[in-house]
Every structure is written in structure tokens, then in C-alpha cells.
Chain A
Amino acid sequence: MADLRINLAGIKSPNPFWLASAPPTNSGYQVQRAFEAGWGGAVWKTLGDPILNVSSRFAAVSFNGQRVAGFNNIELITDRPLEVNLKEIYETKKRFPDHAIIASLMVEPKQEKWHEIVKRVEDTGVDGLELNFGCPHGMAERGMGSASGQVPELVERQTYWVKEAAKTPVIVKLTPNITDITSTAEAAVKGGADAVSMINTINSLAGVDIDTWNTIPHVGGKGAHGGYCGPAVKPIALHMVGECARNPRIPIPISGIGGISNWQNAVEFMLMGATGVQVCTAAMHHGFRIVEDMIEGLNNYLDDKGISSVMDIVGKSVPKYSDWGNLDLNYNITARINQDVCIECNKCYIACEDTSHQCIDRLVDSNGVSFLKVREEDCVGCNLCSIVCPVDGAIDMVEVPNDLPPMTWNERQAALGLLNGTAEKVVKS
């Protein structure tokens, strides 16, 4: 049994699975049910000044019959009175002292507002604070959420104000609706943040009803953009986590968020630098019970790898993540089709023929049996055939050894520069 406990900037939890600040953490009843189910922590749905919500709030994207491939919401922060939330946080923490409760906060960008809420919330015994600089809809129109989170100076200044008052660790939750997330992450670091969490939701319009021409969702025939999350955003989130994790100017822990649906996704985020993960859409799709497999799967994974603590995997893939210019131009792979596994759906053939490099042949052997074969000399190793192949093990991408030394684009340009410089010198002299 591996040790699944994590310590994220001083916030401890029995496992790395937290519920993100969202509808699942709206009340004490829900968070307590979640802890009973096994969740290690919960970030309480964002507290702030009372708001009003609209009816018709969520929408999802189905893909080829797969429901909730992506999820969109236009719900705002908590619509319950602050004192009710604080009372329930207090009661929940008392009942589950070993579980992490983090309060998500959002107020107007004013020093006294932040000081006031931090003080009131910390009195409940929370383990930490998360600053919601990410909510992309509604609140942003009032200068909060992502409207703050998109301006590095505002992130830094507000973080600083919070840190002036806070006794517990402060996590700054970042919006992905920005060109370079490391700029706001750096601002959080400058403001004194103890950790960053990412990503909040991505600006989105889930769909348009092609019969009524209404937006999806719509509120009485009118729509507004919402925030996108769920499995579809995972690669975007993972990239942002990786960019922050490998940035030396962001030396604080990361709480990974974005489309995490199972233990494998969690392992990926942790390998890419997250100290723990936050989950929402998967729980909204299936209920809190999904955490049981997350915990068991993670534990089995660590046991199988002989790793004693989950903290030992944090960041292990970060050194493998770099810039395009550092990739070896002399590394070659090729597709190889295993005739005995291939079922001849010909999807690889048509994908390669129509949209890639035309290097798969449909052939017939001497017994009249058809088969598919890659012309390896023409294959560029793009992976498309193995991606579209519906059968595991039918197409392998194998390394083609060569005698060339590794050579990256950056090295190549440097070498060329050196050559040109020499040539210039020769000409000059």
C-alpha cells in the first residue's frame, strides 16, 4: 500500500484527489458526502458577496455518442449567504479534521474587501485559501474572476493583499483565457502566493440548437458565453501545468485541474508537475463514488512501479518537456503493421493516403490474401495510422536506428551561425 498523502504548500490531505470549487462543493452536505466517499480534499464553492444565478446553467458536448466529452457552465459563485457557508465549513472541518478544506474566494479588487473575507473565512478552520481569478463569465463582467486574472498586475496586487491578512497557505487559481499563463503565474509568485492552481474554465459556447437557432444553453432565448471544462480540455490544462512546472520563476507547487476523469489522468498531471489534482466534471457526470477507483488505481499503479509515496512522482516528466527547438531532428520512427493483429478496416490506409504521406500499400500475397504494409522508406513517423487504428497492437511505431548523432534545431542553427560567422570572417580577412 503506497502512501497517497500529499502536502501541497503545507496543506495536507489523505490523497491527492480534491473536488474543485464548483457545484459539487456548494454545501456542507455535499462536501461531507464527498469525504465519506473518499475524496481527500475539497475546494469550497467560491465565497463572496451574494449573487443571483440564472436558470438553465449547464450544457455539455457529446461526441459520437460519448456524453460529456466537454462541459460548459454559466453558473456564478455561491448564491448562499456567507454566514451559512462559513457555518457549514466549520462543521465539516470539525467532522473531517484530516481532510483538506480550502475556501475559494472572490471579491472586488479592493484591499479591505480581501482582508475582511480572509479573516472571516480563516476563523472557520480552513486549511487554505484559493483565490478565484479565473471564473470567465458573469463575475468577469463586474471586474472580478478572469477580469482580474488576465492582468498580471491585478493578480500580483490582490495576492499581496490576501497574503497580508492570511495565516493559511494561499493558492492562486489561474485562468487559461490568456496568451501565456506563466505571466500570471509569475505575478502570483511575486504577490507571495504559496501555490497556483490551474486551469479554470475556458471561454466557451457549448452549441447552437439547429432547430430553434438558440444558443446552448439559453436563458429565455438569449445566451452568454460560459466556461468550458471536462475531458476535452485536459490537453490544454496539462500543457499549462507543464509550462509553469518547468519555469524556474514559478518555484511553487501546482494544483492540477482540467478534465481529470480517472487515476491515469491524475498520474499524468502529477508527473507533469502537479502536487495534487482537482476534479469536477467527472464527479458531476458520475457522482462522488468515482473516487474509489481513482484511489485504488493510483495505489495499484504506485505499488506496481515500486514507488512508496505518491509525492515521489511529482514532476518526474517535467525534465522531458521542453521546446520544439530542443527536439532531436535525427530521431526517426516508422509505422509497422502487425499482420496477425490487423483486422483490415483500412482506416490507416485511407488516413495516410488522403491526409498524410501516402506510404501504406494495400497488397495481396501469393495466396490471394490481402494485407496492409507500410513503405518504411517513405514513412515520416507521424503516428496518424496508429492513432486511427481501432485495434491495440495492430500498428507499432518503432524507432529506426541510424548513425547520425542527435541534432536539435537550436544546435543546428547555432552550428550554422558559427559556420556563417567563420565564413564572414574569412571574407573580411
Chain B
Amino acid sequence: MKINHTNIDLNFQEIHPGLSQNEALEEANRCLYCYDAPCIKACPTGIDIPSFIKKIASGNLKGSAKTIMTANPMGASCSRVCPTEELCEGACVLNHTAKPIMIGNLQRYATDWAIKNEVDFFEPGTQNGKRVAIVGGGPAGLSAARELARLGYKADIFEAEEKAGGLNTFGIVPFRLPMAISDWEIEQVEKLGVTIHTKTRIGKDLSADELVNSYDAVILAIGMAHVPDLGIEGENLKGVYDAIEFVRDTKTKPLSHQFFGKKAVVIGAGNTAIDAATSSVRLGAGNVKILYRRTSEEMTAYAFEYEFAKQDGVEFRFLTAPSRIIGDEQGRVIGIECIKMELGEPAEDGRRRPVPIQGSEFILEADMVIKANGQARFVGLIEQFNLHHDDGVVKVDSASYQTSNEKVFACGDVIFGKGQGEAMVVSAAQQGKESAHAVHRSLAPFFAETV
């Protein structure tokens, strides 16, 4: 990445320009149009990929985008952020003979066309008189709301932030997912008559009980919270950031020049850590290091993200854990003390547990420390709803998405973890769809017009 130091806004423009018409047609024509294609099965939302590609080839872009958006209400953002090589593209049969079809790029081509041409695909269903409250307006909540609206429900989303979209709006760096894409997906949902109550935090502005009592069903799609404390000395020093807040600022505030030439240390090696590290590079940081207490094998960042960060010049220090953040007299970060680790016995989650090597402490110079060591859970809110959970992971029936309160359903990151599910936008979208249909199955018997 060549950093522009005078106009840093340029550093945050979308990395890939998208396929040209020629590139898209050439690639679409290369698709074999498999029957019962493995790429469809590999897509969590089950997009009929060969069909949407065939439609690009035939010039039916409207139909192509509709095929995508029908299966995946987050189809435009997923085309940019899905780990396609682990999903559709990884399953492409052409992996065996040539190179896989660029499914993600073609999906982006079709959905970009729909965005540019302001095409709307869906109509609300005939009103059935039932009302569903959705807590959280991220990918899972929006997908649930759209499906419910199409089924004739009045869906109300309650969103704590000033805008819906969740991770797509605030949590993924703009050079991978511009805000406008998320905005379009939100608008598509709103056009179906879904009301999004922003800046409305359930548990504070409205109680859990009020929702449960005044709606026919509630879908909990609250995702995850801030980065948890590291539990080490110096976390409150100036120059220590929460990675989620850090990324959010790149999307919501004018880009700041204050990080020019700074030495940045990012703690953690997940998707958000990569976003925080590559954002730091684009903000002009002089050196960016990622510290991870395990090895590249265990990190949760995808292979393409690891590659992307390395291309950006991010240095990875594996088997390294922070033990103390060091500040100067003004309370500003000047360094971070680390300790070398080694991998011990596997823990409950199957990953080998990192064990500190005694006496291996060393100090790295740092002007800023970005914490990307996971995300906390909204345990308080879950408990307000009085739902069974395991450390903030809400327990649901895997088929019905019903929680321990049969009127409350849950989907998305709030049910991810403890060995269940995947923390991907595309999984959240699918769960949103499925939980909407689950709500419908549970409520449909109670109104005249049956399914």
C-alpha cells in the first residue's frame, strides 16, 4: 500500500475498483453452470450462484441481483467481506482444473449495478396484523426484519446506535466495505415498511419486559459488545484504543492526522485486529505490529486478511502476549512489555493453550496500543430478558431459534460461540432469515390467513 500522506482520505477508498463490464462478462462466461453446484451448498445463505452468474452473462443484471438479494439480504456487503475462498470459491469445481470463478467479484458486480440503478426488488407481504420486535439492527436483525416484512409482519427494529447496519456500518473498514453499501441494504429493508428506532437502547430506553409484552414475538439480534479489558497494567493510558471504536472512527469521523509516524501495536489476530492494523497503516503510522499469543495456525483472521495485512507492511509477532502497557509522566503510552509464549495442551475449544515462558519478558516501543482481543457480550441485557445463556452466548433450539423464552428468538453473533456457529456476516444473514421463518411458523397458526 502506497500511503498518501497529504490526503489520507484517498487511503480509505475501496481497495478494489470492482470488475469492468468486460471482465465480468468474461468471468461469467467461464462459469460452467454446474448442476446442483457445490458453491450453492457452500454459501450459508444458499445463493443460486450459477443462476446469478448466468444472468450476468445474458445481460439480465436485474435478475442476477434479485437472485442474490433474495437469498441474502446482505448480498452486497457479503460480496465484499465474505471469506469466499473458504466458502463458494473454495467449493468451485474449477479448483480442480484451472482457477475458481471470482464469485464474490461477480456478486459485487451485480449488486453494484442494482445500487447504481436504484432498483428495488421486494414488496411487503399482505399485513397479517402481527408485530415483531427485533433488538439490534445488524446483519441478522435486518435480514430477519426483511423476511418478516415480506411475510406480512409489522417489524420494528430497535437499534442502540444512530444508524442500523451493525458490523457492516461501523465495524468493517471503509476500504473493504464502504458505508454506502450498508446504507443501501438498510434502505432496502426500510422500504418494506420496517421501522428502525435508532438511538434506542433496550434495557435503558425501553425494558425487555415492555417489548416482550407488547409484541407478538421478539428477535434478539444484539451481536457482541466492546473489546474486553486485557486485565493488565496501563490500559487506561492515553493512546490505548478499543479496536472496534478505532475502526468505527474511520467510518464516522473525519480521518485524523494524529497517527502519522506513530508506532502502533495491535493486540489480537482476528478480523478486527487486521482491520485496526491496516487502518493504522493508512492513517500514516510508521510501524504497525500485531501481537498474538498463539501462532498463525490458530489465529481467527482469514488467510486473505493475513496476506492483505502483510502486503500492507504489518509485522506479526506470534507467541507474544502483552504483560504491561508502559506510560510516561503525562500518562501517554511509550511502550509495551511483552512475554514470549509457547503452546501447551489443547483447551476445551480444541486450540492449544498458550503458556508464558518465564523470564522472557521484553519491551517494544509503542505510541499507541489497539486492543483487538475479542468482544464482550451484552450479558446484562440477556439477563434482563431472563434467557438461558452460557457466558453471554444465548442458548437456542437449533431448529426454531427459540430461546428459553418461547416468545423470544435469537440469531447472529449473540448465539455464536461456545462451539456453535460462525461469526460471519453471511451466517448472521442466514440466521436472520431462518429465525424470521421460525417466528412465522410459531405465529402463523394464530392468524386467519395461514401459510
Partners in one complex: yes
Chain A residues within CB distance 8 Å of chain B: 64-65, 343-347, 349-350, 362, 390-391
Chain B residues within CB distance 8 Å of chain A: 25-26, 28-29, 32-38, 57, 93-94, 96-97
A345 to B36, CA, bound (A): 8
Contact A343-B57, Cβ < 8 Å, known A65-B26, A65-B29? no
Q: How far is the CB of A166 from chain B (nearest CB, A)?
A: 50
Interface of B is mostly: helix
Contact A345-B29, Cβ < 8 Å, known A64-B57, A65-B57, A391-B97? no
Give every chain A residue within 8 A of B26 (Cβ-Cβ): 65
Contact between A347 and B35, CB atoms less than 8 A apart = yes
Given B34, B94, B96, which contacts A346 in the complex, CB threshold below 8 Å?
Answer: B34
Given B25, B35, B57, which contacts A349 in the complex, CB threshold below 8 Å?
Answer: B35
Contact between A343 and B35, CB atoms less than 8 A apart = no
Contact A65-B35, Cβ < 8 Å, known A343-B97, A345-B93? no
Q: How far is the CB of A65 from chain B (nearest CB, A)?
A: 4
Contact between B25 and A65, CB atoms less than 8 A apart = yes
Contact A390-B32, Cβ < 8 Å, known A344-B38, A344-B93? yes
- Chain A: CB-nearest residue to B57: A64
Contact A64-B29, Cβ < 8 Å, known A344-B93, A345-B93? yes
Contact between B32 and A345, CB atoms less than 8 A apart = yes
18 contacts between A and B (CB under 8 A): A64-B29, A65-B25, A65-B26, A65-B57, A343-B93, A344-B38, A344-B93, A345-B37, A345-B93, A346-B34, A346-B35, A346-B37, A347-B33, A347-B34, A350-B35, A350-B36, A362-B36, A390-B32
A140 to B25, CA, bound (A): 39
A64 to B97, CA, bound (A): 20
How many A-B pairs have beta carbons closer than 8 Å: the answer is 35
- Please give me the 9 A-B residue pairs with the lowest Cβ-Cβ distance, nearest first: A350-B35, A65-B29, A346-B35, A345-B34, A343-B93, A343-B96, A64-B29, A345-B93, A345-B32
Give every chain A residue within 8 A of B35 (Cβ-Cβ): 345-347, 349-350
Give every chain A residue within 8 A of B93 (Cβ-Cβ): 343-345
Contact between A346 and B97, CB atoms less than 8 A apart = no
Extra A-B contacts (20), CB below 8 Å, given A64-B57, A65-B29, A390-B97: A64-B29, A65-B25, A65-B26, A65-B28, A343-B94, A343-B96, A343-B97, A344-B34, A344-B38, A345-B32, A345-B34, A345-B37, A345-B93, A346-B34, A346-B35, A346-B36, A346-B37, A347-B32, A347-B35, A350-B35
Q: How far is the CB of A355 from chain B (nearest CB, A)?
A: 12
Q: How far is the CB of B235 from chain A (nearest CB, A)?
A: 49
Q: A64, A344, A345, A349 — which one has the most chain B CB atoms within 10 A of its CB?
A: A345
A1 to B43, CA, bound (A): 56
Q: How far is the CB of A386 from chain B (nearest CB, A)?
A: 15
A64 to B31, CA, bound (A): 11
A65 to B94, CA, bound (A): 19
- Chain B: CB-nearest residue to A390: B32
A391 to B34, CA, bound (A): 13
- Chain A: CB-nearest residue to B27: A65
- Chain A: CB-nearest residue to B38: A344
Give every chain B residue within 8 A of A391 (Cβ-Cβ): 96-97
Q: How far is the CB of B351 from chain A (nearest CB, A)?
A: 27
A65 to B25, CA, bound (A): 7
Give every chain B residue within 8 A of A343 (Cβ-Cβ): 93-94, 96-97
A345 to B98, CA, bound (A): 13
Give every chain A residue within 8 A of B57 (Cβ-Cβ): 64-65
A344 to B91, CA, bound (A): 11
A363 to B245, CA, bound (A): 51
Give every chain A residue within 8 A of B25 (Cβ-Cβ): 65
Q: How far is the CB of A67 from chain B (nearest CB, A)?
A: 11
Q: How far is the CB of A209 from chain B (nearest CB, A)?
A: 13
- Chain B: CB-nearest residue to A362: B36
Q: How far is the CB of B93 from chain A (nearest CB, A)?
A: 4
A345 to B35, CA, bound (A): 6
- Chain A: CB-nearest residue to B26: A65
Q: How far is the CB of B90 from chain A (nearest CB, A)?
A: 14
Q: How far is the CB of B105 from chain A (nearest CB, A)?
A: 16
A347 to B32, CA, bound (A): 8
A199 to B36, CA, bound (A): 43
- Chain B: CB-nearest residue to A349: B35
A362 to B38, CA, bound (A): 14
